[in-house]
Amino acid sequence: MKMKNVMVRAWEIAKSAVVKFGGKVKEYFSQALTMAWKETKAPKYAEVELKPGNSKCKTWIAQIVGFHPVYKLSRKFLNNDTTDQYGYKIFFLNDGVYEYNNGKRRGFFRIVGGQEISINQDEAHAFVAATA
């Protein structure tokens, strides 16, 4: 993000603080600038959580990395980054297209700027074709 964008975002934050709390914009600008820089430097990943698998069905997430001659899409299966206190698998995912199996159903999703967006198989194919 360019310096101008950081400054514009800082002014937006400061002005919204005036509307919410009252006072003058310059009273909030220092803290708003700090917040704008944090937004800029924040990692752009999404935290995705899957329930633990069992002996009948494994749960997994795979990143779609290209096309495969037999299976249509080439996948890179991922290990979970951590596990919570209830055994749920937690993945920290960067921008890209992913396939998942949560034990009950299988599907595709896309991570864009840290946001998870559900997509179908045709959209996954289109994204891989566009990036190849």
Q: Per-residue pLDDT for 64 more than 90?
A: yes
Would you say how long the chain is, in residues? 132
Give the three-class secondary structure for 129: helix
The closest alpha carbon to 97, from 53, 127, 131, belongs to: 127
- Tracing tokens 């220092």 back to the chain, one arrives at 30
What are the domain boundaries of the chain?
Answer: 3-41, 46-131
By the 10 Å C-beta count (0-12 exposed, 13-18 middle, 19+ buried), 32 is classed as buried
Residue 1, pLDDT above cutoff 60: no
Confidence of residue 86 (pLDDT cuts 50, 70, 90): confident
**Predicted TM-score (pTM) of this structure:** 0.65
